Structure 1
Amino acid sequence: MGTSEGGGGSSGSGGDSGPEEKNVGSSRSKFEHSGWVYHLGTNSIKRESCNRRFLHIKGKYVMMYKRDPHEHSGTKPIRRGVVGHTLKLEELGCRKVNDGDLYVLKFSNRLDEEKKGEIGCATADETRKWMEALEQAKKQAELELSQTSNTRNKLSKENEIDLERQGHRNRVKRYASGLKRLISIKRGESLVRRSLSLSGSNKNVEFCDADAADVIEGHEWKCVRTLRGVRIFEDASIYKGNKGVLVKAVGIMDVSSDSAFEVILSLHRHQRYEWDALTSDLELVDSISANSDVVYGSYDPRHINRWKCRRDFIFSRQWFRDQDGAYTILHFPAAHKKKPPRSGYRRTKVSPSTWEIKNLSTNVPSNGGRCLVTHMLEVHSKSWSKWKNNQSSKFEKTIPYALLNQASGLKAYLDTKYVPNAKPDEERKHESSSSSSSTIVSQNDVSSPNSEYEEDEIADQFYDAISAYSSDDDDDDDSDYDDAPLDTKGSSIMLQTASFSNPNRVPDPCADGELDPLSSPITVDPIQLPGSMSEGKSESDTNCWTSPNGKGFMIRGKTYLQNNAKVAGGNPLLRLIAVDWFKVENPVGKVALHPKCLVQSDAGKKLPFVLVMNLQVPAKPNYSLVLYFAADRPIAKDSLLERFINGTNTFRDSRFKLIPSIVDGYWMVKRAVGSKACLLGKAVTCNYLRQDNFLEIDVDVGSSSVARSVVGIVLGYVTSIVVDLAILIEGKEQAELPEYILGTVRLNRVRLESAVPLES
């Protein structure tokens, strides 16, 4: 990651001198060097981690931050210490970390080899600059030691910087701490947890596919207006006239996604005055975690003519970064005990909304870029329809209209403030001279090897609360917000019964060769293989499962390695024959060995092969969703599936992929959960049991903040949503393409209380 956001190091605060030009012996001006690096180590499940950190050297002192302290005042270092005279530096050269190439610099103590740590940089030149900076800090430490009469006392008072990175923090304590803080947020909070998902390269990412969504979107976006270079769309597929509509403003900004994200997230008052006409007076109420907070704001009623008094509002924010460099920011109305109703103000609700910021391919220099910014929200104003048809301007006096205009204001601001070809130090000097705008930084293209990686440490602290906010506003034509969630039902749900007795089952041609072509398919009566959750027979059935076809999922096509092209999936290779829905005191594994498990029944033993997927869901009580996928013929020898079944756990972890999709549900939940494929073995702990005619995969959802966040959201809305899951084995070689869907399941409005105890 190197040094500053623009790729070069910064010495001091805006100075142009390099580290070698500072006078380390001067007491008036201590040497300074700062910038972004990657902190390397292992996370709490003993996998290699790579976290982006801001490193600052001042004199002999080294401080490490999660955010740039120059841009975020009050930021405290997460590590702090001195560069001791015993510091030993070693360049380890280029190393592949999470599919990205980094130049690694190792720290150690020549008197104690146990004290060590590593940072990574994008280029060898950046590594050299950090070497020089740290050597200067070491000289400063040696000089001060030589001038100190009592060296022993001096050394005892100052601790050397500890850069050893190991994820041994108590996960349970952090989780409990986050829950305790959320108690202060009122009115039926529900946890919504989302991790930073940080990427390696644009093509071969470690945890999720870096390209487009892996689920076919059900929205039908129609452009209805253009406002100052920003297009306004409505979702025609769910438009319900006066009741409500999903709308979005979409514009191209001539900055990187990192720059746009920083501006949108910033609470800097004078900066927001330059682009945000509505929510420009903001203050931080509570920092829930490094990636979520609660914000209070107020605005002048002159912007909304129908108001007779001043207005204020509270909303919660959560944000994350996908591995392709795209950012998502979620806004929800909220309440907080620190901000009770204020005299002279009327508390209003800002409509739930999302910001999505994606980088676009560009040929401009690496310190520039282009991004596509999308601002999406609900509109419940009756005047929307007339406004889009140029029949009335009443909508222009509403909050949703002011929110839609934020995208065009942001575009105008960035177009005038951003200098594409400015050098990083020049940008910093220019911006530090003006107190009316915060730093706008540019980043290397996210497809380069110095992109960010998954940050387990921050992910475990990511909490948010959504308030079920009751409305006291008048129910008039310009209602700011409707408590009833927007109905986002898509097209009719396609059901496909999964049983071997179906003579019309058509195999997916992409999966030819995975099952033994010389063996005859067996016929099994599904009545002999019952599960605790019933199979749905029609679209109106609830608290049930079905097995949809794979057409709603996008998988890697034959030419994926050449052009990243994906195709719609075909019918699943394995058939879902039963689903068990258990509640348990503690997470349970090896379900297939239970004497009453269908795999142990006479009918189950006759099956050529059964894939048992046990999703261990953390909650109170804990749950287990057990899916049974069966083959009607033996697995072909030397096929990809056979290599997965009988391979090593490392191979299984690197190939087992899950694609989630919320088919029917509240649109904000859809945006939060997402629709990207995830390599389960890389994101959570998976335990495998291979015996007899089955392979069981126990997926410990509680081992990962990424999975817990998804489950936390789903459990909060589980009775009102329809969730599709597809599993597959990732194809990485040309001979393994195109991919095929291994199995699918649709969970239709499941009731938590319907789970049955698992008998011991």
Structure 2
Amino acid sequence: MSTSEEEGELGGAMEEGSSSGGGGSSESGGSGDGGSRSERGREPEYFGWVYHLGTNSIGHEYCHLRFLLLRGKYVAMYKRDPHDNPEIKPIRKGVVSHTLMVEELGRRKINCGEFYVLRFYNRLDETKKGEIACATAGEAQKWMEAFDQAKQQAVYDLSIATGRHKLNTPTELNLDGHRPRVRRYAHGLKRLIRIGKGPEMLLRKTSDLESNMRTNTYLEVDTADAIEAHDWRCVRTANGIRIFEDIANSKGSKTFLLKAVGVVDASLDNVFEVVLSLDRNKRCEWDMLTDELELVDSVDGHCDVVYGTYDPKNLTWWHTKKDFVFSRQWFRGQDGEYTILQFPAVHKKRPHRSGYHRTKINPSVWEFRRLGSSESPSSKCLVTRMLEVQSSVWDRFKGDGCLNFEKTVQFALLSQVAGLKEYFEANPAMKSETTSTIMHSSSSDDAIDRAELEDSETKDEFYDAIANGESFEDEDSDDDDVEPSKAGKMTFKNVSWAIARLALKRNSDLPQNSELDSRTSPITIDPSQFHGSLDQGKGKHDTNCWSSPIGQGFMIRGKTYLKDHSKVVGGDPLLKLLAVDWLKCESNIDQIALHPKCLVQSEAGKKLPFILVINLQIPAKPNYSLAIYFGAEKPIKKGSLLGKFVDGTDMFRDSRFKLIPSIVEGYWMVKRAVGTKACLLGKAVTCRYLRQDNFLEIDVDIGSSSVARSIISLVLGYVTAIVVDLAILIEATEENELPEYILGSVRLNRLKPESAVTL
């Protein structure tokens, strides 16, 4: 088969669009209006080498090394670097649609190397899909941010387009199908931001990529805002790290938590790659315990099973060689923080080995968090290694004044943080080797107010649940206070909220938080008239039930958030929690509110001014749906933020629909996996909206994200012992929308999967 025929079947390819597809110059602006073309000419461009994955016309899987370029919302793909080959034509080109979704699939073995795969798909057309692979997780994250910026540009262009311009749009990005014939080359490659090092380094699986792009978050010291029972105390310092014990551990508990914390002078992505790597030659330079690590099975891109050996004769009295099997789950949060969960495991491919004693490793967690702002020239991250140990073991060593603790396997595991610290100190080239190139537009006569395209969330910490116990405020040194760089910074412009500004300018005189119509007398909501399949709890010890928590367990944006990024304790929810349905089905249940048995269709439900239905679709066998119903005692006020959310577009809803989770009680590793950080669900998973009569239903497809699927599978394993609080908000991005308010909240107390009913 020829190369041309193979390219025609690239699963993630771009269809050739109008003459504007690969250009961006004013003469090739397509059907967009003059303002949009002028702005696109000033947009930075992102480019780099990626692997293009897919299946050809005869069913053979392939991967091709391709040069990908993204300018504004326009995409072009080349066989060679167009900067070195000016006359080369793009083999694919198209425009990013406002319905494009990008999902991180995690690690995959490609050409004898481990790479990070991104899946592209159109949420309205499942036939349009495709995949690309990147060298590092950080590189994949940058492409996700770049495509998110392109999607926001598409949303903004659609919001200002009218009549003929809306109908006469460039050809959408085609994520599946044959490659059309290329007509001409896209000129004017300027203002570029390079992502990755190029084909040679991509093949070598490089990981030393420094981020020079400013993302939508600002990361400072972890203030540990979750309500947790942990209370950490430093009990030992060794080799530049601190070791903490959990002094809040309840008496009689069989397990105990220890953690080691240290500052590593290297980029976040590099440290993560080194810890995840199984390369023995690299690992033996910082890991004093493990001898060999071997991949046994790859469950998915975010989970695998590993076999390892170690010889602990220099650590303990036990001189027998030991081997072990463990599973790893890793994911990256919206704030860029990495987490790796490690559990003991059993696998049929690795039975007991002669001469080795099979041991069970301690459950543990790695956490990696950038210190300072994302665009800071300083490359430092805070590394935390948390370990579960037997209480009897730790009590014995505490009784000896920890004199023999340094000879234990537990100490060797905690000392891996110190090993990482010294490893990067001894290898300066691996710390933060900057390979990105940034060029700025010199034009200053903007046709559109660029303030409307600036990111209003550049310093959001994403820590939104209050903590009373665990605190990391003392876990950074003086070097950690890195101020954001004021010069030479590049921002991803967030244009999603600019759509709302066009409407808000007409309603700028609205009173703060006037979400419900004050001219209407409130109705009395009688809870006894509303029933769901899940019972309401009467006491804190009840199980398989729900209750209504107050909003004081969450941190929300305060009145001055846009100036000083301060957050305040949440108040009582605006909407009243009516009932909860716990359902099971073979496939996802959509549009629950239209079902005749749903409380929305009851006589009491039809009398309410407004009902908000949150349908969390949980992937499992069988699938589950957690339907949460909130009611308003007054009609929604026209022009308010809630009114714009309820009656607005899906694009606006996706950019504002926010969830804050908080595990109140549960296994500590589940708490670390779920976290306490706000998540914009419309950007993380697929959300579908149904607005009819007096209700709005939001169907949240958790299974649409591989990361979310990985976390929810862990949660389901411990769900009968978990108490979780959820807060629903509409994110405030304008001054007249602040302070934020909690739209609704629910506490789910130790759910039993077998109690779910069929709708």
User: What's the TM-score, normalizing by structure 1?
Assistant: 0.64
Report if the CA contact (8 A) 2:104-2:707 is conserved: no
Match of 2:346 in 1: 335
Map 1:225-240 to 2 at 5 A. Answer: 225-240=236-251
User: What is the rounded CA distance, in whole Å, between the counterparts of 1:228 and 1:407 in structure 2?
Assistant: 9
Gaps of 5+ in 2: 1-45, 51-83, 86-91, 118-130, 134-145, 155-171, 201-210, 436-483, 495-510
Change (3 A) 1:513 1:199: farther
Alpha-carbon deviation of 1:262?
2.0
Residue 377 of structure 2 is aligned to residue 309 of structure 1: no
Alpha-carbon deviation of 1:226?
1.0
Match of 1:460 in 2: none
Match of 1:144 in 2: none
User: Secondary structure of 1:223's partner?
Assistant: strand
Match of 1:457 in 2: none
Alpha-carbon deviation of 1:98?
6.4
Match of 1:702 in 2: 703
User: What is the rounded CA distance, in whole Å, between the counterparts of 1:422 and 1:237 in structure 2?
Assistant: 38
Alpha-carbon deviation of 1:338?
2.0
**Which of 107, 124, 133 is equivalent to 2:192?**
124
User: Secondary structure of 1:264's partner?
Assistant: helix
Match of 1:405 in 2: 415
Alpha-carbon deviation of 1:325?
2.7
Alpha-carbon deviation of 1:334?
1.3
User: Secondary structure of 2:736's partner?
Assistant: helix
Residue 588 of structure 2 is aligned to residue 587 of structure 1: yes
Change (3 A) 1:597 1:407: same
User: What is the rounded CA distance, in whole Å, between the counterparts of 2:184 and 2:114 in structure 1?
Assistant: 20
Residues 626-662 of structure 1, C-alpha deviations (whole Å, 9 max, x = no match): 1110111222221111111111122112111112222
User: Secondary structure of 1:283's partner?
Assistant: strand
Match of 2:552 in 1: 551
**Which of 358, 376, 379 is equivalent to 1:369?**
379
Residues 322-374 of structure 1, C-alpha deviations (whole Å, 9 max, x = no match): 233321111111122221101111000111111111111279984x5111110
Residue 259 of structure 2 is aligned to residue 248 of structure 1: yes
**Which of 352, 361, 365 is equivalent to 1:354?**
365
Residue 751 of structure 2 is aligned to residue 756 of structure 1: no
User: What is the rounded CA distance, in whole Å, between the counterparts of 1:238 and 1:719 in structure 2?
Assistant: 21
Map 1:563-578 to 2 at 5 A. Answer: 563-578=564-579
One-letter code aligned to 2:264: M
Match of 2:100 in 1: 47
Match of 2:216 in 1: 203
One-letter code aligned to 2:415: N
User: What is the rounded CA distance, in whole Å, between the counterparts of 1:100 and 1:413 in structure 2?
Assistant: 42
Map 1:78-157 to 2 at 5 A. Answer: 96-97=149-150, 112-113=180-181, 124=192, 126=194
Alpha-carbon deviation of 1:730?
0.8
Structure possessing the higher radius of gyration over alpha carbons: 1
User: What is the rounded CA distance, in whole Å, between the counterparts of 2:667 and 2:720 in structure 1?
Assistant: 12
One-letter code aligned to 1:47: L
Map 1:584-733 to 2 at 5 A. Answer: 584-733=585-734
Alpha-carbon deviation of 1:574?
0.4
Change (3 A) 1:202 1:212: farther
Alpha-carbon deviation of 1:117?
12
Residues 118-176 of structure 1, C-alpha deviations (whole Å, 9 max, x = no match): 9x99962749998xx99xxxxxxxxxxxxxxxxxxxxxxxxxxxxxxxxxxxxxxxxxx
Map 1:470-489 to 2 at 5 A. Answer: none
Change (3 A) 1:115 1:660: farther
Match of 1:224 in 2: 235
User: Secondary structure of 2:645's partner?
Assistant: helix
Change (3 A) 1:95 1:643: closer
Alpha-carbon deviation of 1:515?
1.7
Report if the CA contact (8 A) 1:381-1:395 is conserved: no
Residues 21-78 of structure 1, C-alpha deviations (whole Å, 9 max, x = no match): xxxxxxxxxx99xxxxxx9989999515498999xxxxxxx99986399xxxxxxxx9
One-letter code aligned to 1:396: E
One-letter code aligned to 2:633: D
User: What is the rounded CA distance, in whole Å, between the counterparts of 1:676 and 1:45 in structure 2?
Assistant: 26
Change (3 A) 1:66 1:229: closer
One-letter code aligned to 2:573: P
User: What is the rounded CA distance, in whole Å, between the counterparts of 2:398 and 2:189 in structure 1?
Assistant: 50
State the percentage of identical aligned residues: 54
User: Secondary structure of 1:67's partner?
Assistant: strand
User: Secondary structure of 1:681's partner?
Assistant: helix
Report if the CA contact (8 A) 1:543-1:751 is conserved: yes
Alpha-carbon deviation of 1:377?
0.9
Residue 337 of structure 2 is aligned to residue 326 of structure 1: yes
User: What is the rounded CA distance, in whole Å, between the counterparts of 1:371 and 1:754 in structure 2?
Assistant: 44
Gaps of 5+ in 1: 6-30, 33-38, 55-61, 70-77, 81-92, 135-197, 426-444, 454-509
Change (3 A) 1:45 1:294: farther
Residues 445-467 of structure 1, C-alpha deviations (whole Å, 9 max, x = no match): 9997599x9xxxxxxxxxxxxxx
User: What is the rounded CA distance, in whole Å, between the counterparts of 1:128 and 1:414 in structure 2?
Assistant: 21
Change (3 A) 1:238 1:516: farther
Change (3 A) 1:611 1:40: farther
Report if the CA contact (8 A) 2:512-2:738 is conserved: no
User: What is the rounded CA distance, in whole Å, between the counterparts of 1:395 and 1:630 in structure 2?
Assistant: 56
**Which of 270, 274, 283 is equivalent to 2:281?**
270
**Which of 390, 407, 410 is equivalent to 1:380?**
390
One-letter code aligned to 1:203: N
Alpha-carbon deviation of 1:728?
0.8
Change (3 A) 1:511 1:237: farther
Deviates more, 1:723-732 or 1:268-277: 268-277
Match of 2:439 in 1: none
Change (3 A) 1:212 1:204: same
User: Secondary structure of 2:535's partner?
Assistant: coil
User: What's the TM-score, normalizing by structure 2?
Assistant: 0.64
Deviates more, 1:279-288 or 1:341-350: 279-288
User: Secondary structure of 1:715's partner?
Assistant: helix
Change (3 A) 1:286 1:589: closer
User: What is the rounded CA distance, in whole Å, between the counterparts of 2:681 and 2:250 in structure 1?
Assistant: 36
Change (3 A) 1:98 1:382: farther
Deviates more, 1:254-263 or 1:726-735: 254-263
User: What is the rounded CA distance, in whole Å, between the counterparts of 1:239 and 1:579 in structure 2?
Assistant: 32
User: What is the rounded CA distance, in whole Å, between the counterparts of 2:537 and 2:104 in structure 1?
Assistant: 45
Change (3 A) 1:113 1:226: same
One-letter code aligned to 2:679: C
Change (3 A) 1:661 1:107: closer
One-letter code aligned to 1:360: L
Alignment RMSD (CA, Å): 4.6
User: What is the rounded CA distance, in whole Å, between the counterparts of 2:592 and 2:374 in structure 1?
Assistant: 54
Match of 1:507 in 2: none
Residues 569-606 of structure 1, C-alpha deviations (whole Å, 9 max, x = no match): 11111010111222234322222222332222222222
User: What is the rounded CA distance, in whole Å, between the counterparts of 1:243 and 1:742 in structure 2?
Assistant: 40
Residues 411-470 of structure 1, C-alpha deviations (whole Å, 9 max, x = no match): 122222225898669xxxxxxxxxxxxxxxxxxx9997599x9xxxxxxxxxxxxxxxxx
Report if the CA contact (8 A) 1:225-1:388 is conserved: no
- The count of aligned residue pairs is 551
Match of 2:740 in 1: 739
Report if the CA contact (8 A) 2:233-2:245 is conserved: yes
Match of 2:427 in 1: 417
Match of 1:84 in 2: none
